[in-house]
Amino acid sequence: MLNLNRHIFPRWPFSPIKLQRGLSRMAFLAVLGMFGYSAPAQANLYQYADKVIDFSSEYSVPNWAAYQALGQPDTFSYGDIITAWAPRPMNGTLEFITVGFPQPVYSTGSVIRETYGNGFVYQIDALDQNFNAQTVWTGIDLSQPGAPVEAIFTWVETPTLTYGLKIYTDTNHNLTAWEEIDAIQMFGNPAAPTPTSVPSPLPVAGSGMALAWSRRLRQRIRGRFS
Ligand SMILES: [Ca+2]
Ligand SMILES: [Ca+2]
């Protein structure tokens, strides 16, 4: 639902145009701060998935089983390789794998190592301690075929601890390949988000609402500074 992929933090601007854009983005973040928005924490914890909670299908066991997506990467070439999770069908289905992690965090993103049929992730849900799923990312996965890709997906820091991630995949993305995942990382802040000094008029659980609102504000700010 919320894809701020690579758009949150401005790089340091060197040219006048970049300076102008950088200032508009900083103004945007400053205004968000006025309304209680906290930028993602800097001290991110990265960790690999260590348990399978659920999955839609797996090609076989142990080769291409769902648990092949756990732990550190062990698939170092692009192709149909047994150390990555592959769903049973080659094409024609929407699949998922749900995994847990050693330590819950206020998650801000995931690194999904795609090793065959790359570019197939279309949705990610974050699971709270009761396994309630909240969609945190939808969009277009730009991972290219030909080599393993560590695809990075980011979202606004979740208001509650994330215990697991549900990764949705489309087996029709590449009709000549299985869509395979070698490893899944989650990153985020183990500590609770720091509240701002100004009370927020927006509910914490409504970060999606806040960002929907912020897009309009960003368009206004861009219009003012461009
Ligand atoms: Ca396929
Ligand atoms: Ca693996």
pLDDT tens-digit map of 72-90: 999 999 999 999 999 999 9
pLDDT, tens only, 182-205:
999 999 999 987 665 544 443 333
Q: What is the whole-number distance in angstroms between the Cα of residue 51 and the centre of ligand 1?
A: 25
Determine which helix (DSSP H) or strand (DSSP E) holds 18, and give its type and residue range.
helix 16-34
pLDDT score at 65? 98
Average pLDDT over residues 124-152: 98
On average, the pLDDT of the chain sits at 78
Q: Which ligand is nearest to the CA of 66?
A: 2
Q: How many CA atoms lie within 13 A of 172 on its CB side?
A: 3
For residue 158, give the nearest of 53, 52, 38, 43 by alpha carbon: 38
Q: Which ligand is nearest to the CA of 114?
A: 2
Judging by beta carbons within 10 Å of its beta carbon (0-12, 13-18, 19+), is residue 72 exposed, middle or buried? exposed
Q: What is the whole-number distance in angstroms between the Cα of residue 211 and the centre of ligand 1?
A: 34
pLDDT score at 172? 98
For residue 118, give the nearest of 96, 94, 143, 95 by alpha carbon: 143
Higher pLDDT, 36 or 119: 119
Domain layout of the chain by residue ranges: 16-38+197-225, 45-189
Phi, psi of 95 (to 5 degrees): -120, 170
Whole-angstrom distance, CA of residue 67 vs CA of residue 200: 42
Q: What is the whole-number distance in angstroms between the Cα of residue 188 and the centre of ligand 1?
A: 31
Q: Which ligand is nearest to the CA of 65?
A: 2
Q: Which ligand is nearest to the CA of 49?
A: 2
Q: What is the whole-number distance in angstroms between the Cα of residue 198 and the centre of ligand 2?
A: 45
pLDDT score at 66? 98
| Ion ligand 2 residue ranges (Cβ < 5 Å) | 68, 74, 83, 182
> Does position 55 have pLDDT exceeding 70, yes or no?
yes
Average pLDDT over residues 218-226: 41
Q: What is the whole-number distance in angstroms between the Cα of residue 170 and the centre of ligand 1?
A: 8
> Does position 145 have pLDDT exceeding 60, yes or no?
yes
pLDDT score at 193? 72
Instruction: Domain 45-189: give its CATH architecture.
Output: Sandwich (2.60)
Contact partners, residue 22, CB within 8 Å, separation at least 6: 10, 11, 12, 13
> Does position 134 have pLDDT exceeding 60, yes or no?
yes
Q: What is the whole-number distance in angstroms between the Cα of residue 137 and the centre of ligand 2?
A: 23
Q: Which ligand is nearest to the CA of 184?
A: 2
pLDDT score at 35? 40
pLDDT score at 114? 98
Could you tell me how many residues make up the chain? 226
What percent of the chain has pLDDT above 90? 65
Q: What is the whole-number distance in angstroms between the Cα of residue 180 and the centre of ligand 1?
A: 9
Q: What is the whole-number distance in angstroms between the Cα of residue 180 and the centre of ligand 2?
A: 9
pLDDT score at 42? 52
The model's pTM is 0.70
Whole-angstrom distance, CA of residue 52 vs CA of residue 178: 20
Cα angle value 120/124/129 (rounded, 5°): 150
Q: What is the whole-number distance in angstroms between the Cα of residue 216 and the centre of ligand 1?
A: 37
